[in-house]
Chains A and B, each alone.
Chain A
Amino acid sequence: MPVKLTVTGAHAVAQAMRQINPDVVAAYPITPQTPVVEYYATFVADGMVDTILVPVESEHSAMSAVVGAAAAGARTMTATAANGLALMIEIVYIAASYRLPIIMPLVNRALSGPLNIHCDHSDAMLARDSGWIQFFTENHQEAYDFTIIATKLAEKENVLLPAMVNLDGFITSHGVESFEMLDDEVVKEFVGTWNPKYSLLDTENPVTFGPVDLFDYYFEHHRQQEEAMNNAYEELPKVFEEFAKISGRKYDFLDLYKTDDADYIMVVMNSTASTAKYVVDELREEGKKVGLIKPQVFTPFPKKEFQKALNGRKGVVILDRAMSFGKEAPLYSLIKSALYEVPSRPKLGSYIYGLGGRNTSPKMIRQAFEDAFNDNLVADEQRYLGLRE
Chain B
Amino acid sequence: MPNIRDLVDYVENNDWAFTQGHRLCPGCNAPMVANWATLAAKSLGYEPVVGVATGCLEVSTTIFPYTSWNVPYIHNAFENVAATISGAEAAYRSLKNRKKIDNDKIKFIAIGGDGGTYDIGLQSLSGAIERGHDFVYILYDNEGYMNTGNQRSGSTPPGADSTTEPIGKASSGKLQLKKSIVDIVAGHEGVYAATAVTSEPWDFMRKMQQALEFRGPAFIAVLAPCVRFWRIPDDSGVEVTKLAVETKYWPLWEYNMGVYKVTKKPKTFKPVKEYITKLGRYNKLMKRPDANEILEELQNYVNAKWDRLLALEELTKDKPLRTKI
Contact = CB atoms under 8 A, between A and B. Distances in A.
B206 interface: no
A152 interface: no
A50 B125 CA distance: 26
Interface string B79-103: 1100111111111111101101101
Nearest to B51: A68
Interface stretch (B5-13, B27-35, B65-73, B183-191): B65-73
Contacts of A55: 131
B76 interface: yes
A29 B66 CA distance: 39
B115 to A, nearest CB: 16
Given A65-B87, A69-B87, A72-B92, A208 B73 contact: yes
Contacts of A52: 90-91, 93-94, 97
The CB with the most chain B CB atoms within 10 A, among A26, A60, A212, A213, is that of A212
A153 interface: no
Contacts, number: 170
A68 B131 contact: no
Interface in A40-99: 50-52, 54-58, 60-61, 64-74, 76, 90-91, 94
Given A26-B90, A69-B91, A206-B72, A214 B64 contact: yes
A61 B85 CA distance: 10
Contacts of B51: 68
The CB with the most chain A CB atoms within 10 A, among B62, B69, B95, B101, is that of B95
Contacts of A23: 91, 94-95, 98, 100
Contact of A50 (B58, B87, B97, B105): B97
B79 A73 contact: no
Contacts of A216: 64
B90 A69 contact: yes
A201 B98 CA distance: 14
B127 interface: yes
A67 to B, nearest CB: 5
Contact of B87 (A57, A64, A94, A212): A64
A51 B91 CA distance: 9
A212 B90 contact: no
Contacts of A199: 72
B91 A212 contact: no
Given A24-B87, A56-B83, A94 B64 contact: no
Secondary structure at chain B's binding surface: helix, strand, loop or mixed?
mixed
Interface string A186-230: 000000000000011111001111111110110000000000000
Contacts of B85: 68
B311 interface: no
Given A65-B90, A68-B88, A74-B95, A57 B106 contact: no
Contact of A214 (B63, B70, B95, B131): B63
Given A211-B63, A214-B64, A60 B124 contact: yes
Contacts of B90: 24, 26, 52, 54, 65, 68-69, 74
B264 to A, nearest CB: 34
Interface in B97-142: 97-98, 100-101, 103, 105-106, 123-124, 126-128, 130-131
Given A72-B88, A211-B64, A213-B64, A57 B130 contact: yes
Contact of A208 (B62, B76, B124): B62
Contacts of A206: 69-73
B266 to A, nearest CB: 39
B182 interface: no
Contact of A65 (B83, B95, B130): B83
A209 B49 contact: no
A318 to B, nearest CB: 36
Contact of A217 (B64, B88, B94): B64
Nearest to B81: A64
Interface string B1-42: 000000000000000000000000000000000000000000
Nearest to B78: A90
B167 to A, nearest CB: 32
A209 B49 CA distance: 11
Contacts of B94: 23-24, 50-52, 69, 74
Contact of B106 (A50, A70, A201): A201
Contacts of B101: 73, 201
Nearest to A203: B47
A90 B97 CA distance: 31
A207 B88 CA distance: 14
Given A23-B94, A203-B72, A208-B69, A54 B58 contact: no
Contacts of B72: 199-203, 206-208
Contacts of B105: 203
B62 A72 contact: no
A214 B65 CA distance: 10
Nearest to B84: A68
Given A201-B92, A208-B62, A210-B76, A64 B124 contact: yes
B288 interface: no
Contacts of B64: 211-214, 216-217
Contact of A212 (B63, B76, B77, B83): B63
Nearest to A206: B72
Nearest to B97: A50
B191 to A, nearest CB: 16
A56 B67 contact: no
Given A68-B91, A201-B49, A210 B74 contact: yes
Contacts of A90: 77
B187 to A, nearest CB: 15
Contacts of A50: 94, 97-98
A334 B66 CA distance: 40
Given A54-B87, A71-B74, A210-B75, A60 B95 contact: no
A57 B124 CA distance: 7
Contacts of B77: 64, 90-91, 94
Interface of A: 23-24, 26, 50-52, 54-58, 60-61, 64-74, 76, 90-91, 94, 199-203, 206-214, 216-217
17 contacts: A24-B90, A26-B90, A56-B131, A57-B130, A68-B86, A68-B90, A74-B91, A76-B87, A91-B77, A94-B77, A200-B74, A203-B71, A206-B72, A208-B73, A211-B67, A213-B64, A214-B63
Interface of B: 47, 49, 51, 58-59, 62-67, 69-77, 79-80, 83-95, 97-98, 100-101, 103, 105-106, 123-124, 126-128, 130-131
